[in-house]
């Protein structure tokens, strides 16, 4: 374990020395109510002096201890989008100038602390999942909704625009804190391994069986991490179009393959199903790492892989292949 911090540098509370000293340093419109969110107002990052204050304050904290991780959160909407530093005819520039100020702050802080991993978060997840922020923060907390079934759609959709390595994906406790669904630790782990894998729950509540499974999941992800995060990603079955989902990863050299299948809801007398893979070499053979069965690349892509009959809802299955030399 290494030391990390979670904070919201862009916020200010009314009950603070900063606000009392500089009440005009927040976004506001004169003679209008200053709307609070989580008992906070938003600092006016169009002002160079405010940006300087944030850089100095954050840098002082990061330099005070062996900190290697920062979650940079922003948990409220911009309201009363006005700046006391701009004339009336330029007030419509405020939102844009705010983001320019934020980028300048992040540029200075991340450059000064290159050893720190910065993770972006906003509004419970992907509110700031944009390419500008990714320039400074290589991963984003994809969503506070960590239910494995909902995450199939969230991660599938996010992957249309953003790389797998940028998506924070964690195993959380059940019943899920947002929708109270119960899914197995295996299902939660398999879904989370298709992103930036981690756990956020009380490990001391695990049964002996769950502890052993968690150890296995961590060991497996260490094996898969390189080509899951930096290999080629293929979407096979969309969770938006049926009761299952599937995707796969192929290492950059084409030798390692991971196909992930997720059954959302079981059906009686469900039809026999073949999962057609992508991105393989049709002229090469691939060996199933777990069963030692040998398949042709053309066979896996054009005929497909026979899916086992799933018993019960919320089931998942990994298929690992290694290209034969």
Cis peptide before 175 (omega within 30 of 0): yes
Pick from 64, 159, 62: nearest CA to 114:
62
Q: How far apart are CA 22 and CA 212, in angstroms?
A: 54
Q: Are 26 and 37 in contact (CB under 8 A)?
A: no
Query: Is 73 an active-site residue?
Result: yes
The yes-or-no answer on residue 147 being catalytic is no
Phi, then psi, of 313 in degrees rounded to 5: -75, 165
**Which among 15, 24, 44, 73 is annotated as catalytic?**
73
- CA pair distance 140, 128, nearest whole angstrom: 8
The single residue of 31, 130, 144, 290 carrying the catalytic annotation is: 144
Q: How far apart are CA 258 and CA 249, in angstroms?
A: 5
3-class DSSP string for 79-108: CCCCCCCCCHHHHHHHHHHHHHHHHHHHHH
Listed residue (25, 92, 83, 80) closest to 57, CA to CA:
25
Specify the DSSP element, H or E, that contains 225: helix 208-230
Residues 22 and 52: their CA atoms lie apart, in Å, by 14
Spatial separation of the C-alpha atoms in residues 97 and 84, rounded to whole Å: 13
Catalytically active residues, by annotation: 73, 144
């Amino acid at each position: 374990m290494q030391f990390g911090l979670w904070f919201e540098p862009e916020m200010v509370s009314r009950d603070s020395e900063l606000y009392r000293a500089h009440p005009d340093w927040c976004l506001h419109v004169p003679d209008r109510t200053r709307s609070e969110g989580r008992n906070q107002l938003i600092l006016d990052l169009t002002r160079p002096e405010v940006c300087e204050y944030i850089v100095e304050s954050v840098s002082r904290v990061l330099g005070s201890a062996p900190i290697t991780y920062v979650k940079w959160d922003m948990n409220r909407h911009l309201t009363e989008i006005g700046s006391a530093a701009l004339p009336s005819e330029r007030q419509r520039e405020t939102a844009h100038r705010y983001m320019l100020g934020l980028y300048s702050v992040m540029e200075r802080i991340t450059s000064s602390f290159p050893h720190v991993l910065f993770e972006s978060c906003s509004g419970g997840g992907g509110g700031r999942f944009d390419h500008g922020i990714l320039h400074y923060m290589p991963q984003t907390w994809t969503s506070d909704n960590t239910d494995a079934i909902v995450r199939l759609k969230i991660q599938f959709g996010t992957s249309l625009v953003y790389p797998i390595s940028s998506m924070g994906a964690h195993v959380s406790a059940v019943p899920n804190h947002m929708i109270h669904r119960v899914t197995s630790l295996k299902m939660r782990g398999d879904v989370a391994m298709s992103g930036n894998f981690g756990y956020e729950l009380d490990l001391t509540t695990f049964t002996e069986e769950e502890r052993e499974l968690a150890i296995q999941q961590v060991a497996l992800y260490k094996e898969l991490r390189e080509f899951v995060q930096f290999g080629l990603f293929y979407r096979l079955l969309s969770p938006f179009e049926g009761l299952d989902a599937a995707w796969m990863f192929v290492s950059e050299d084409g030798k390692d393959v991971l196909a992930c299948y997720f059954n959302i809801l079981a059906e009686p007398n469900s039809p026999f199903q073949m999962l057609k893979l992508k991105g393989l070499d049709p002229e090469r053979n691939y060996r199933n790492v777990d069963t030692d069965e040998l398949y042709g690349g053309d066979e896996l892509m054009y005929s497909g892989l026979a899916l086992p009959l799933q018993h019960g809802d919320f089931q998942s299955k990994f298929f690992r292949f290694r290209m034969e030399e």
